[in-house]
Chain A
Amino acid sequence: MVINIISEFFKSNGLVGAIGIIALVMYVAYYIANSIGQKRMGSAFAIIIGLVLAYIAGKYTGGKKGLADIKLFAGVGLLGGGMLRDYAIISTAYGVKVENLKKAGLVGIFSLIVGVLFSFIIGVIIAVLLGFKNAVDITTIGAGAVTFIVGPVTGSALGASSEVIALSIAAGVVKSVLTMIITPIIAPKIGLNNPTAAMVYGGLLGTTSGVAGGLAATDPKLVPYGALTATFYTGLGTLIVPSIGFLLVKIIFG
């Protein structure tokens, strides 16, 4: 009886159920992050837990939509679907000031453009080297090397398969986690100790959670400078990768 009531609830209140599940995942992720003294890695842990759950569900159901293939958790498909995702991404642009963009100056804009293109090209080269031939797949994986947001946005715009989109998210997650871990270690060697370098750093790496985490572990005073340019990175990526990026890949690799 109890199980019936629960499954009925999840069936008729899918979205509410999904919000509860994701809240629980966030709680667990931040608990782990706090207990190892890496508060800022909470979101990276949560994403990893999400991917692990998708893996388990995929093994269990043999389906293609991860957790959403389990009837009880179908609502997660709604919460994590394209509509709400795009809606939330757009809202993060709020609070960005045009004058702050000007303050970041020419070098900030330059590092943004170089950062997006550099990561994209690296991702494209790796995709081609590892045998991807389709222009849509190559572009999506390249976009994943930009950030784990640009990857799926590009993938869904171009109609890439769920497998390739998952690969692009995984590439973005690898980038975000590595950024947090490596930054404090190599900061002295790359001269990451002043606002200009921090702005360049935010523009080149872009992954907002990675940059905020990495800078906080290096020198908290640098966080706003890096986060400033990083905020524009995903926007620039979603703007130029599915358009100019895809066009270039299509011309070169057919």
Chain B
Amino acid sequence: MTRRQGFRAFAGAAAGLAAAGCTQQAAPQPGRPAMPGQPVELEFWAWVPGMDEVVATWNRQRPDIQVHYVEVPAGADGAYPKLYAALEAGAVPDLVQIEFMELPNAVLNRGLVDLLPLGVSAHRHEFVDWTYEQVSFGGGVYAVPQASGPVATFYRKDLFDEWGLTPPATWEEFERVAERVREHDAYLTTFPTNNSEVLSALCWQAGSIWFGADERQWVVDVDNPATHRVTDFWQRLIDRDLVDTIPNSGNAFYKSVQDGRIVSLLGAHWHAEVLEGNAENTAGKWAVARMPQWDAAGPVRTTNLGGSVTSVVRGSRFPAQALEFALWLNTDPATVSDLVVKGMGFPALADLSRVPAMDEAFGFFGGQRINDVFRESSESVDNSWKWLPTTNQALEHINAELQGMASGGRSLHEIAVDAEAQIIRDLEKKGLPHRS
């Protein structure tokens, strides 16, 4: 008995509710409206601020395809439980915003439409290469890339100037600057022991590829020398009380940032918006610099934190029109420019020359054209990283281990070994082929 049949047998009373989405999706039929003369109506779930205005623009331009925008809470605490519950119940939206790291899970749960038969590959050249790679699995393409999160250093330029410091160019310098900042009763930054996504990004930069996929199976490799290099480094900073260990979001963090008790943040492009929104009183005092390097002489290596895509949901009656909207949303220069200003992150669009917002000077960052820094960062991200269908669990396992590390219990080697074993067990539970 399949899950659906089982569900139906027990939900007999609620059959009406489930009927709409229970049937396996028929072959997509491009461009056929609900009824002649009637506009196609699509529902779209996302969390980018200001998305409603962009959708309104589309609705004005395209009376034949009307999009109803529903704002959902971002990520694992909101949008995904809602999506999976909707899939289970069979009452799905047509389009959803999903993060790169959640995408394999959504694909695994048969929640997304393969866009390849709908002709998405004709648009491949419009997107940054690695973002398109991230949305391709097992011979299908499951999303239109929207934005990524190239990482750079946000720092309080005013305080750095006052204290005679410059943003660290290497990790070695980072430690020295952290020492100097401590003399002023402040921390250079925080290492969030509850956010292993940050650790994953730092390891990504150091050349560690935790996750991936070959032709047939998922690949896990957390326990490797590059990971140890990163964890050893941060462990030392934590042990020497050179960095704080509070979460890099939430009230305590923003209070510290507002008070100048935390003076820099290794953050993604979208953090610019977050900082501006949560530390208004520090406007004009910030600047952005390239993130510290392990190898000062070699080519620049940066990393990525977050980023999301627009996917068409399995069960949508109008996948072709939904794709059309998703492509417009993420390739129309004026639209992308609008969304960048509103804080969606760094566009996945390959040709940024026609996106006006990318050249903007930011008042919050003392008039700096910060996107120049992020553009370099975006081009210096290693392309081979992929996520797992069990990414959430994997990151949570590492979180649990990190908490042990921060409170001084575990050695780093144990952390990596333990986490890897747990991640492999997750894949086994899901019945997924894997190797480590």
Whether both chains belong to one complex is answered with no
Residues of B within 8 A of A (CB): none
